[in-house]
Amino acid sequence: MTKSILFVGVGGQGIILASKILTEGLVRFGYDVKMSEVHGMAQRGGSVTTQVRFGEKVYSPLIGFGEADVVVAFEKVEAPRWISYLKDGGSLVVNDYEIYSMPVLIGKEPYPEDVLEKLEERISKLKIINAAEAAEKLGNIKTQNIVLLGALIKALELENMDWAQVVKDILPEKMQEINIKAIKAGMEI
End-to-end CA distance of the chain: 28
Q: Phi and psi at residue 135, in whole multiples of 5°?
A: -65, -40
**Quick check: 80 binds other proteins (CB under 8 A)?**
yes
Q: Phi and psi at residue 149, in whole multiples of 5°?
A: -60, -40
Taking CB under 8 A as the binding criterion, the range among 94-102, 148-156, 159-167, 176-184 that sits at the site for other proteins is 94-102
Which secondary-structure segment (H or E) carries 187?
A: helix 173-188
Amino acid letter, residue 23: T
**Quick check: 125 binds other proteins (CB under 8 A)?**
no
**Quick check: 55 binds other proteins (CB under 8 A)?**
no
Among 5, 15, 73, 115, binds other proteins (CB under 8 A): 115
Pairing of the two strands 86-95 and 47-55 = unpaired
Q: Phi and psi at residue 161, in whole multiples of 5°?
A: -75, 160
Instruction: Considering the complex, state which of residue 121 and residue 157 has its C-beta at the smaller distance from other proteins.
Output: 121
Instruction: Considering the complex, state which of residue 87 and residue 127 has its C-beta at the smaller distance from other proteins.
Output: 87
Contacts with other proteins by CB under 8 A lie at 10-11, 23-24, 27, 32-47, 58-62, 64-67, 77-81, 83-84, 86-88, 100-112, 114-115, 118-119, 121-123, 141
